[in-house]
Amino acid sequence: MATDYQDLLALVKGRRSIHRYKSDPVPDEYVQKILEAARFAPSGANAQHWEFIVIKDPAVRARIIELFKEQAAVGKKMELTRKEALRAERAYSDPNEDPGFKDAPVWILLLGDQRTKEQFILSALYSVGEANFRSGLAMAFLYMHLAARSLGLGSQWVTSTALPLMTAQIKEFLGIPKDFVIYDMIAVGYPAHEPKPRPAKALSDIVHHDRYDRSKYKSDQQVEDFIIAERTRTRRPQRGATH
């Protein structure tokens, strides 16, 4: 079992968000394998509330890119209201720029059928029904990313598709029934770059035993400093700059 765990850990550590893709097509067999893994994800009461739209058609993709840019313009205005040091650069970059996922040959929208919440026992439905619903979709989404990585593919979590403006327009454009939510979209393709390793917090800082260790409690300033450090680490170099 130790060998199996090491393989899993390597897969998890190696999964990174890919923002540039090669033009090589992704075999349909690989797409099926990604979806096959996702359909076995855990869900509350085995509700299996997921469905998928695989997007390859150039015209459909072009329209979604247009909607993405509209959403990006809104996101930029919102982000500029934050304290400057806390702003996420990707949210206020030029909304007219094509997103990195544009060249990924396959996009997959993950949908959730809200009617399946009735599968939950009533006490859960009335208290944590929405949380359980979202958690199940998150499980399926994670399985998709890991399956893609296991096949030598890169993937990107495209969160904008779940934001109000974009999700409303995509649902209308693609004829998605009103009972469904768009959880998120995953872009899949062969990576055209190798991201740097991503730092992770030390286990000693985030694990507690039997009760919360108050000595590990971070102050508001420490949390803010962490966010600023992450913003700085992931900031893109200015155009024309050399590193």
- Could you give all domains of the chain from N- to C-terminal order, each with its CATH number? 14-196 (3.40.109.10)
Residue 2: which pLDDT band, with cuts at 50, 70 and 90?
low
- Mean predicted confidence (pLDDT) in 7-20: 92
pLDDT at 90: 72
Query: Which among 28, 19, 229, 179 is positioned nearest to 104, based on CA atoms?
Result: 19
As beta bridge partners, residue 113 has 180
The tokens describing 105, both together, are 């040959």
The tokens describing 99, both together, are 């997103």
**Edge-first strand listing for the sheet containing 180-189:** 50-55, 106-113, 180-189, 154-158
Summarize pLDDT for 157-206 with one digit per residue, the tens: 999 999 999 999 999 999 999 999 999 999 999 999 988 888 899 999 99
pLDDT at 239: 38
Task: Say what angle helices 2-14 and 122-150 make with each other, to 10 degrees.
Answer: 90
pLDDT at 100: 87
As beta bridge partners, residue 110 has 52, 184
Provide the 8-state DSSP code for 21.
B
As beta bridge partners, residue 50 has 112
pLDDT at 240: 38
Helix ranges restricted to H, the chain? 2-14, 28-38, 58-79, 122-150, 164-174, 203-206, 220-234
Check whether 237 has a pLDDT greater than 50: no
- Mean predicted confidence (pLDDT) in 7-17: 92
Query: Which among 67, 65, 59 is positioned nearest to 98, based on CA atoms?
Result: 65
Distance of alpha carbon 98 from alpha carbon 226, whole angstroms: 29
pLDDT at 139: 97
Contacts of 176 (CB under 8 A, 6+ apart): 53, 111, 170, 182
SS3 213: coil
pLDDT at 1: 52
SS3 20: coil
As beta bridge partners, residue 165 has none
pLDDT at 3: 64
SS3 217: coil
pLDDT at 198: 85
Q: Compare 42 and 232 and report the one with higher pLDDT.
A: 42
> Is residue 141 a contact partner of residue 186, using CB atoms and an 8 Å limit?
yes
Summarize pLDDT for 47-99 with one digit per residue, the tens: 999 999 999 999 999 999 999 999 999 988 999 999 888 888 777 667 788 88
Summarize pLDDT for 88-146 with one digit per residue, the tens: 877 766 778 888 899 999 999 999 999 999 999 999 999 999 999 999 999 999 999 99
- Specify the DSSP element, H or E, that contains 188: strand 180-189
- Mean predicted confidence (pLDDT) in 38-49: 96
